[in-house]
Amino acid sequence: MLEQLTMEVNEVKRSLIPILPLPPKTRPIVARASEGLDPILTDAYFRGVRTFVQSIEDAPSNFRTEVVEPIAAAPAKVKKVRTKNQKRNDKLQSQAFANANRALRKTNGQMRKGVSQRDIAARAQRELRKLKKTVGTKKGQIRKTARRAFKK
């Protein structure tokens, strides 16, 4: 239907060439050029339209093959296991930041005069080093006081 309409429009264009305000010698050249170009342009146009329509019709199946199936085929990522030491360090670090904030901020939450976030972080790192030095016994270690009491 559209192709037939396009052919009719091309015929109208060809019939209008003699009416155009062109020099008489150039009219046959323009007519031959339009006759040669019209089928090429029409064919290219309709090939593009058909390809576009076909891609829209194929979109649901293409979506499945190009998006859904690769995602389903990809292996699930293994969750990183956090070690006991990492958890302990995080807990100590949160304590250190709480202590540093308590020391360097006012009661309303503002920083004290002359104190920056950098100062708070540096203080928290110092606190963390102190917290990491364990006061209790390590695994398999006997407290000094327990050894002294046993000797007597």
Asked whether residue 117 carries a pLDDT value surpassing 70, the answer given is: yes
CB 7 within 8 A of CB 46: no
Of 85, 115, 90, the closest CA to residue 100 belongs to 115
For the chain, the average pLDDT equals: 80
Mapping DSSP to helix (H, G, I), strand (E, B) and coil, where does residue 73 land? helix
Interval 64-69 mean pLDDT: 74
CB 128 within 8 A of CB 92: yes
Which residues neighbour 112 within 8 Å (Cβ) at sequence distance 6 or greater?
Answer: 104, 105, 106
Q: How far is Cα 119 from Cα 121, in angstroms, rounded to an integer? A: 5
Q: Which segment of 23-27, 59-63, 110-114 scores lowest on mean pLDDT?
A: 59-63
Asked whether residue 152 carries a pLDDT value surpassing 60, the answer given is: no
The whole-model pTM stands at 0.41
CB 128 within 8 A of CB 93: yes
